[in-house]
Every structure is written in C-alpha cells, then in structure tokens.
Amino acid sequence: GVGPSDVSPDEGVVEDLPLIDEQAVEQLTEGLISHYLPDLQRSKSALQELTQNQVVLLETLEQEISKFKECNSIVDINALFSEAKHYHNKLVNIRNEMMMLHEKTSKLKVSRINI
C-alpha cells in the first residue's frame, strides 16, 4: 500500500494554487500603499524639517565658534599689549639710568678738570 511517507509533500500544490487575479493584486497594492503612504510622507517631511534644523544649528555653532576664536585672539592681543607695556617701562627705566649715569660721568669729568 501507499503510506503517508510515500506521498511527496509538493504533490498537488501547483494544482491547488488559484489563478492570480491581476486586478486583485493591483487593488491590494493600492490598498497597502494608501495605508502606509501618508505615514511615510509625514515621516519624510519630519526628516526634511529635522535636516533643515540641523543645518541651521550647524551654521549657528560655526558662528559661535568663530566668535570664541575672535575672543581668544583679543585675549592674545591684550596679552601682547601688556607685554609691550612691560618692555616699554623697562626701556624707560634703562633710559633714565643711562641719563643718570651720563650726568654722573659728566660731573666726574668736570670735577677732574677742576682738580
């Protein structure tokens, strides 16, 4: 006899498939698209808005970074000015010392001549 193991599992499957109705497939496809498309379009517009906001945020960050760079350069300039002032004071002191030494040497010369 023919037992259950003798029958192929694929036997009769092709004959059991109904003919594919192209119109039904098209209607099912349209139904599926009409169900998911609005959500996908909303997601697309939300992503576009998010991308635009990110671009604006990046531009703002770049402006802020350039402001910080300007602040740092101003600090550097201020340090440079204070350093210049310091060296100017040193030069003034050296000049004063040289003038004082010149006076002393002049007085010594005058006193030597008088001797």
Reported as a single tens digit per residue, the pLDDT across 76-86 is 888 889 999 99
Q: If you average pLDDT over every residue of the chain, what do you get?
A: 85
Q: Per the structure block, which two tokens stand in for 99?
A: 């003038």
HSE-up of residue 109 (Cα within 13 Å, Cβ side): 6
Q: Give the pLDDT score at 57.
A: 96
Quote the CA–CA distance of 88 and 25 in Å, as a whole number: 91
Average of pLDDT values for 63-72? 88
Quote the CA–CA distance of 87 and 115 in Å, as a whole number: 42
* pTM exceeds 0.85 for this model: no
50 pLDDT higher than 90: yes
What type of residue is 34? S
From its phi and psi, is residue 2 left (phi > 0), alpha (psi between -120 and 50) or beta?
Answer: beta
Q: Which pairs from 47-51 meet CB under 8 Å and 24+ separation? A: none
Q: What is the radius of gyration, based on Cα positions, of the chain?
A: 47
Q: Per the structure block, which two tokens stand in for 25?
A: 């497939």
Q: What b/e readout covers 17-37, taking b as 16+ CB neighbours within 10 angstroms? A: eeeeeeeeeeeeeeeeeeeee
